[in-house]
Structure 1
Amino acid sequence: MSRTAPEIEAKSAETITFRGFVFLTKSKELRTVEGKAVTLRSQSAEVLSVLASRPGEIVSKDALMQAVWPDTFVTEDSLTQCIADIRRALGDDAHVIVETLPKRGYRLNTDPSDAADPNAGTARAKTRFSQRGFILVAVVLVAAAIGAYYGAEIWRAAPVRSSDMPRIAILPFDDMSAGADKGYLSDAVAEGIVTELARSKTYAVIARNSSFRYRGKPVDIRQIGEELGVDYLLEGSQQKAGDRLKVTAQLLNAHDGSHVWANTYNREIGDLFVVQEEIIRTLAARVGQRIERPLPQSDAARVSALSYLLMGSAANKKDFSAAGNELLRQFSLKAIEADPNSQFGYIGLAWSYRFDSVFWHKQENNPDEALKRAAEYADKAILLAPDDANAHQIRAQIHSEAGEIEQAIAQFDQAIALNPSASNILEGSAAPLLFAGRTDEAIDRIEQAKGIDPFYPDWYNWDMGWALYEKNDCGAALTAMRKMSPIPIGAHRMLAGIYACLGNQREAKEALAVFLKDSPGDSISKQRKQWEKNWTAPGPLERWIGHMRIAGLPE
């Protein structure tokens, strides 16, 4: 935590007024300017109290969490839920009163001159609210219109520091292996370091999607540092020859390109995970804080199992089809044969049966049976490796497909705690939150994912479009969708719903026609059957069905 509770000293004012509300700082009560009490959960009231003690100032997430939960371990999800609770109480759908500053924290926008005793300033607050509120709304609307017209980069911003932790990017390690040994372990070392270093909370770690984009490119340390907004870069290489493994690693200062530390490891191949841990401990001791924990289990069988999973995943990614999925399954079975006590093969099988259920329906055209088998393999992986974020991620996906939304959210939260640098897991967790009606939290998750993944993929914009549609901010949703270049065919159904929301029936019909070229059998009844088990929040499904009718989707 970058700041402690004593650093957040309350102001002398007994009340804080904002947008027609009054917060009593001593009793931590929220009221309307007319004096009517507004209900807040106790922890939400505590969060609002901290923000109210520093009106108009940015308060970091770390400072808020330390102030409200000083002796309790909680994830940022607890804070996000409190912020969402406060916004609901204030009717702050536009996030104007409680403002999110991506990667920096939150700010309570108030008029400090309204801080007075509880019974003073009510008339002034009402007058100022009506006048300044109108002006603020007008400014927001004009800015939104300009942004929508020009396709302004509303959501993408330069990386901003979220805490005082040093920021680091792990570059892909060069693979110096020869022949059949080349390729399959090329990312294993670097990916393992990304995951474990992020989990240790020693560094703020950039997501692999952004740091690995520099693969095979000339390395200009300072340029990469500026593009990713980091303080340090770790680069290296690995070479596998038979049962031997050679790993080199060097830590560089991203601001001036100087070397901080370097080392070479010559080991048996079975020591792969131990080498990862030794690199992590050295990095932590050099720049962060000392890490004390047992060395991980590591042997040749375990490394072989990981290699087979990587081979299968690469094959499926290269050919995302029923045939590619079958290759993933066969490699996963080999992984289990190599080491039945490691989680890797079971993770691969869980993904393959999940793909069967959603895309290929190979289990005798029974997607439910395929999803059931996927759940069994995911549970086995978690049993063998309860600290593997990837095992919890696939289980979360399966829960979501099965309509078990609360279980999906819980599994995603566990996966995020185990690997905070996995932007794909953070972003993926937005879907069940949206199904549950927790729209503001979903938007915050997507923003967090973008913050640690400056070169995030286009489908993040697709999900942001969906989230903003759910928020009924369809102008901003359209802007988010237009950031995709080109807009995928599959996204045109979402685009049709957004156009229908905006009242643009012609554009809605045109967008849906593009989607139906690839999915000619879609219909209202199929949409209802597909989504009714997922949308647990009341109302959104019927709103979606209504917009699909406007777009011309047949019954």
Structure 2
Amino acid sequence: MKKIIQELQRRNVIKSALAYLVFAWLITQVMAIIIPAFDLHTALLKTAIVVLSIGFPLWLIFSWVYEITPDGIKKTVDVDPEVSIAPQTSNRLNYVIIAGLVIVIGLLIKSNLFPSASAENEPKVVPVEVESDKSIAVLAFADMSPEKDQEYFSDGISEEILNLLVKIPNLKVISRTSSFSYKGKDVKIKKIGEELHVNHVLEGSIRKSGNTFRITAQLIDVNTGAHIWSETYDRQMEDIFKIQDEIATKVTEQLKVSILGTSLTSVKVDPEAYNLLLKARKLSNQNSSESNNNATKLVKESIAIDSTYAPAWAILSHLFYRSAFNYGSMPMDEAIRDGKLAARKAIELDPNYVEGYLNLVIFETASWDFKSASLLIEKAKKLEPNNSSVIFAQSDFAAATGKIDLAIALFAKAKDIDPLFETHWYMGYYYWVKGQFGQAEESMNQSLFLHPNDNSANTLMGDIQLSLGHPEKALEYLEKVTEPFWQLYKKSKAVYAMGNTQEADALLEKLIADWGNLAWPNIADVYALRGEKDEAFKWLELAFDNKDISLLEILNYPSMKNLWGDSRWNTFINKLGLPKDHGFHMD
């Protein structure tokens, strides 16, 4: 081994390796600065890293086999040791390594003492402020009933316990989306803790027979696997709320988390009404127009039995929103009216129930009452600052008022509470509206890898390809979109960008004929892309006159830059009634 090391030193292999690593690092740092500055594709940096990684062993082999001599490159074995200039080469490599290290140290000092302007402008992510040992994920309770027909009930129990825990300000509680993703999977508790970044997991089961049920709950320390606390309850249906409260209280006691000096208060609701509500909640998670309509019927039946339960009204409000905004099965004005009434009823019944406020935020924003929406978000933040739904609502509101950097920062914060939430589509959208098309494409490639036939993913990727200057490629993605409106709307832009003006005109005429009484901001987007400012402003005015909430999204689109500089742009933005600190461009 000693002889091998000596030979490596004689042939300058070790110093050649150090020089290679130093300058490979410098190359990647320079590229990391140049790529975002010129909006180049981020794949260039990845490619460079791969090439440099492959080149390293090849460079070592070259250093071992060959020597640079005054007469050119020769194999080391063919060079007489007496005429070898390896010692001189060694000295030169010393200078190269020292120079490289000086540059490296200089760059590190500069980056720490004088951060770049772009770094200063990057949105800051504020982590959830809790002690590391005060974090928990509530897994979906297992249905142990003989017929296996109580999944909706076991899901509901665990979700209600989660909702109680999330009210505690200094406890980090992972959201339902992430914690319920392990349902039916054989995953070790330690792995769940690592993936969700928590130190405790609450799991349990329910076995229901008639009006009697048995609930088992156990709190587990992720790091040791030890059961910190466990309990089994055999009770009647009427005691379900007391048990939920008791489990939540026991968990907080074991984690030594204060419940603000008070105990949780049991909510009384008719058992039959509660059972219907749990079934509705299960149906609503199926995300279809039919399941949404059926869930709405069940909630209305629940409220007819007992109208004093705030969550029932909050769920009804949310179902109204989805009926109009997601499925078009309810007129917009009717959904806003009834949705507001239901959300306000939830708040009236329970002023501390955060979902009531969040639902009302949506409808106030849809009504263009930004001040009310902002105040409601602040109220929700005070009630449950670590609730991911509250943070997502903040992010959505920030985007609706043009503050995309803030929306991204809040979105990242919510991701800390909901680690398994699929973020690629959202980040692709945010990068696209910010004009960072390479990063947008990268995010959407990941989204489409997971959901290749998703309409919204293919639609957004079509927009991104169009912004990248690839209209033909945009059409490939738009052909996969099955919704007629979205395909027609987006294709009218792609075909125009390809230079097929006659076909593009025909598509735009059809869009106006078929959807001109609803898609005002979308048609404005098409005209803005075409650079036809008069028509673009005409349709923007129609969108405003009809209070189309999607206008606030489309004002962020890259096509709107074609309207900047026109005196009508500032006039239009000013009359929207936006908050003074809105983020939309102003000339």
Q: TM-score, normalised by structure 1?
A: 0.64
Taking a change above 3 Å as real, the CA distance of residues 418 and 332 of structure 1, as seen in their structure-2 partners, is same
Name the aligned partner's letter for residue 197 of structure 1.
L
Deviation at 1:497, TM superposition (A): 2.8
CA distance 1:179–1:387, shift in 2 (3 Å): farther
CA contact (8 A) 1:446 1:464 kept: no
1:200 matched residue in structure 2: 168
Match of 2:319 among 352, 363, 367: 352
Q: Give the CA deviation at 1:428.
A: 4.6
Q: In the alignment, is residue 450 of structure 1 matched against residue 415 of structure 2?
A: yes
Q: Relative to structure 1, is the Cα distance of residues 180 and 216 closer, same or farther in structure 2, using a 3 angstrom cutoff?
A: closer
Deviation at 1:464, TM superposition (A): 1.8
Partner residue, 1:290: 258
Query: How far did 1:163 drift?
Result: 4.1
Q: Which residue of 2 aligns with 1:58?
A: none
1:434 is aligned with what amino acid? A
* Residue 190 (structure 1) aligned to one of 144, 147, 158: 158
TM-aligned CA distance change 1:362 to 1:235, over 3 Å? closer
Task: Show the counterpart of 2:461.
Answer: 495
Q: Distance in 2 between matches of 1:289 and 1:547?
A: 54
Contact kept, 8 Å, 2:391 with 2:410, in 1: the verdict is: yes
Residues 35, 41 of structure 2: 8 Å contact kept: no
Where do residues 367-406 of structure 1 align in structure 2 (5 Å cutoff)? 367-406=332-371
Q: Name the counterpart of 2:185.
A: 217
Query: Paired residue for 1:436?
Result: 401
Q: 1:136 to 1:228 in 2, by over 3 A?
A: closer
Structure 1 position 295, deviation (Å): 3.7
Structure 1 position 320, deviation (Å)? 0.9
Q: Is the 8 A contact 1:207 1:452 kept in 2?
A: yes
2:268 paired residue number? 299
Task: Deviation per CA, 1:63-109: give whole Å up to 9, x if none.
Answer: xxxxxxxxxxxxxxxxxxxxxxxxxxxxxxxxxxxxxxxxxxxxxxx
Preserved CA contact (<8 Å) 2:398 2:406: yes
Residues 508/296 of structure 1: CA separation in 2 closer, same or farther (3 Å cut) = same
1:260 equivalent in alignment to 2:156: no
From 242, 247, 250, the counterpart of 2:218:
250
**Structure 1 pair 453/316, CA: closer, same or farther in 2 (3 Å)?**
closer
Shift of 1:200: 0.7
SS of the aligned residue for 1:145 comes to coil
Match of 1:199, SS state, is coil
1:164 aligns with 2:155: no
- 1:472 correspondence with 2:427: no
The answer to whether the Cα contact below 8 Å between 1:305 and 1:345 also exists between their aligned partners in 2 is no
Deviations 1:214-249 (A, max 9, x none): 222335222222222221111112233333343221
Cα drift, residue 535 of structure 1: 6.9
Aligned length: 405
In 1, Cα distance between the equivalents of 2:553 and 2:296?
A: 38
Structure 2 distance, partners of 1:483, 1:538, is 23
Report the Cα offset of residue 257 of structure 1. 0.6
Q: Name the SS of the counterpart of 1:248 in structure 2.
A: strand
What is aligned with 2:75? none
1:419–1:358 Cα change, 3 Å: same
Which residue of the other structure, out of 259, 263, 272, is the alignment partner of 2:240?
A: 272
Q: Which amino acid aligns with 1:462?
A: W
1:137 positional shift: 3.0
Cα distance in 2 for residues equivalent to 1:296 and 1:147: 54
Report 1:93-132 matches (<5 A): none
SS in 2 for 1:186: helix
| Deviation for aligned residue 1:338 | 2.1
* 8 Å Cα contact 2:31/2:45 also seen in 1: no
Residue of structure 2 equivalent to 1:177 = 145
Question: 2 CA distance for matches of 1:145 and 1:361?
Answer: 38
Name the amino acid aligned to 2:217: A
- In structure 2, the residue matched to 1:138 is 34
User: What SS does structure 2 have at the residue aligned with 1:236?
Assistant: strand
Question: Is the contact made by 1:496 and 1:509 (CA closer than 8 Å) also made in structure 2?
Answer: yes
CA distance, structure 1, for counterparts of residue 35 and residue 369 of structure 2: 42
Match of 2:225, SS state, is: coil
Quick check: 1:411 aligned with 2:376? yes
Structure 1 unaligned regions, length at least 5:
1-132, 153-159, 549-555
Distance 1:463 1:510 in 2: 21
What residue in structure 2 maps to residue 426 of structure 1? 391
Distance 1:440 1:180, change over 3 A: same
Letter in 2 for 1:372: R
* Partner residue in 1 for 2:208: 240
1:500 is aligned with what amino acid? L
CA–CA distance in structure 1, aligned partners of residues 223 and 204 of structure 2: 19
Q: Is the 8 A contact 1:332 1:344 kept in 2?
A: no
How far 1:255 moved relative to its partner? 0.8
Tell me if structure 1 keeps the 8 A contact 2:39–2:438. Answer: no
Q: Which runs of 5+ in 2 are unaligned?
A: 1-28, 50-126, 490-510, 525-538, 564-587
| Greater share of helix | 2
Given that 1:349 and 1:374 are in contact with CA atoms closer than 8 Å, whether structure 2 keeps it comes out as: yes
Distance 2:249 2:340 in 1: 35
Deviates more, 1:505-514 or 1:469-478: 505-514
Rate the CA distance shift 1:236–1:538 in 2: closer, same or farther, 3 A.
closer
